[in-house]
């Protein structure tokens, strides 16, 4: 299978790879076929192997080995080979979603683009970017704003920043029990019920880190567990939105950092660009690299990827884009339901149009 992601990165998935149905790649994020793949500016190949070859590498600790343009991650079961400036091969014994996202991001940075952990919506060619931590209400916000009828979806988790443009990166929506009010049709039609009891979910969550340690060494087991996760489900955005509700991209005009706070007031105020970029870059790195951040530094140390392009360039690209936009922070008390976050965001966007005041605005709840 050959795909082209966001008209930039080509991914060739060998027929030996058995977990294609759990990859995040779908028609919302990629176009399929040899002709499309040939348009790529950089490429990634994914191959399944029985064992990871490491005879040409030396151990640098914590399950990491490096060689000449080679990096091996024993914990996640992947061997990364940098065969040329624009091609990487992933040889894996396990499902490789995490490493595929990491490699896409590292190649995007070399192409002067970057993924950002944010929701994004477009209206009349102008884009509103809503970066934040996970679990603050980004998914609820995009649902509320798209269903209002004027906004189009670019993404609820990751989007691509290229110069001052935002391009879609439509991964499947991860739907949790607290999204039941937002997606009643999904819960009603879902053939695989997920657990909605909050106490039972907390108990399961506490055991996930231990379960992953047990499952990860067994090929395919973690992929099976993710596919049949009793706490969440992954749904293509194309199942949740009409084609007319999905955007191909637009010019970035406004950034609103969404923050959850302890307190009783919604607070909306302009944000200094340095502080905003620091937040966006840091949280995006946590989302993209997660538990593999030490491996990314090892890739830099081995010369497979350049540190400046991996880290500093990401900061510079986002700073350059945000210098041309209006930048705000919206603090929302944790006592407010996730279902209501979208309504609060909408109210403040509307208030911007009729309020020239650049100071903070507070609303007591």
The values of phi and psi at residue 125, to 5°, are 85, -5
User: Distance of CA 44 to CAs 16, 40, 116, 203, 291, Å?
Assistant: 15, 10, 20, 38, 21
Domain boundaries, the chain: 2-111, 114-174+240-365
pTM for the model: 0.86
Q: What is the pLDDT of residues 129-178, one digit of tens each?
A: 999 998 898 988 998 899 877 899 999 999 999 989 999 998 887 777 77
**Which of 71, 16, 73, 70 has its CA nearest to residue 220?**
16
Q: What is the pLDDT of residue 240?
A: 83
User: Distance of CA 314 to CAs 163, 203, 320, Å?
Assistant: 12, 37, 10
Strands (E), 213-325: 233-235, 250-261, 265-270
**Which of 127, 89, 104 has its CA nearest to residue 8?**
104
| Cα angle 329-160-29, degrees, rounded to a multiple of 5 | 125
Q: What is the separation, in whole angstroms, between the first and last Cα of the chain?
A: 52
| pLDDT score of 356 more than 60 | no
Q: What is the pLDDT of residues 168-185, one digit of tens each?
A: 998 887 777 777 777 777
d(CA 202, CA 193): 17
Q: What is the pLDDT of residues 277-297, one digit of tens each?
A: 999 999 999 999 988 999 999
d(CA 315, CA 249): 21
Q: What is the pLDDT of residues 64-87, one digit of tens each?
A: 999 999 999 999 999 999 988 899
User: Distance of CA 354 to CAs 71, 331, 349, 359, Å?
Assistant: 55, 20, 9, 14
34: which 2 tokens?
């040899």
Instruction: Work out the mean pLDDT of the chain and round it to a whole number.
Output: 86
d(CA 311, CA 58): 25
d(CA 27, CA 50): 30
Q: What is the pLDDT of residue 363?
A: 37
- Which architecture characterizes domain 114-174+240-365 according to CATH? Alpha-Beta Complex (3.90)
Q: What is the pLDDT of residues 177-217, one digit of tens each?
A: 777 777 777 777 655 566 666 666 566 556 656 666 666 66
């Amino acid at each position: 299978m050959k795909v082209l992601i966001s008209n930039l990165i080509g991914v060739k998935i060998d027929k030996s790879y058995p977990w294609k149905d759990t990859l995040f790649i779908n028609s919302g994020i990629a176009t399929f076929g040899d002709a499309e793949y040939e348009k790529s500016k950089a490429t990634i190949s994914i191959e399944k192997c029985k064992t990871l070859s490491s005879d040409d590498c030396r151990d640098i600790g914590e399950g990491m080995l490096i060689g000449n343009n080679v990096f091996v991650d024993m914990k996640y079961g992947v061997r990364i080979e940098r065969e040329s400036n624009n091609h990487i091969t992933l040889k894996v014994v396990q499902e490789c979603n995490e490493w595929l996202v990491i490699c896409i991001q590292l190649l995007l940075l070399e192409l002067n683009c970057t993924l950002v952990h944010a929701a994004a919506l477009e209206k009349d060619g102008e884009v509103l970017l809503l970066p934040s931590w996970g679990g603050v209400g980004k998914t609820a916000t995009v649902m509320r704003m798209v269903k209002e009828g004027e906004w189009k979806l670019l993404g609820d988790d990751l989007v691509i920043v290229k110069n001052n443009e935002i391009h879609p990166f439509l991964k499947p929506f991860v739907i949790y029990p607290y999204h039941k009010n937002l997606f009643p049709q999904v819960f009603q039609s879902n053939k695989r019920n997920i657990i909605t009891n909050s106490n039972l979910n907390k108990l399961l969550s506490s055991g996930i880190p231990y379960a992953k340690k047990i499952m990860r060494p067994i090929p395919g087991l973690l992929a099976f567990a993710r596919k049949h996760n009793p706490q969440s489900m992954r749904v293509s955005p194309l199942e949740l939105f009409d084609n007319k509700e999905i955007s191909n991209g637009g010019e970035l005009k406004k950034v609103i950092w969404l923050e959850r706070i302890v307190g009783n007031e919604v607070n909306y105020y302009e944000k200094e660009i340095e502080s905003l970029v620091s937040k966006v870059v840091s949280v995006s790195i946590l989302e993209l690299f997660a538990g593999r951040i030490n491996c990314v530094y090892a890739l830099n140390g081995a010369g497979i990827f350049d540190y400046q392009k991996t880290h500093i360039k990401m900061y510079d690209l986002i700073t350059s884009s945000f210098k041309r936009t209006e930048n705000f922070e919206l603090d929302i008390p944790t006592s407010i339901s996730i279902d209501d976050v979208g309504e609060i965001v909408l109210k403040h966007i509307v208030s911007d149009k009729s309020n020239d005041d650049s100071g903070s605005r507070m609303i007591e709840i």
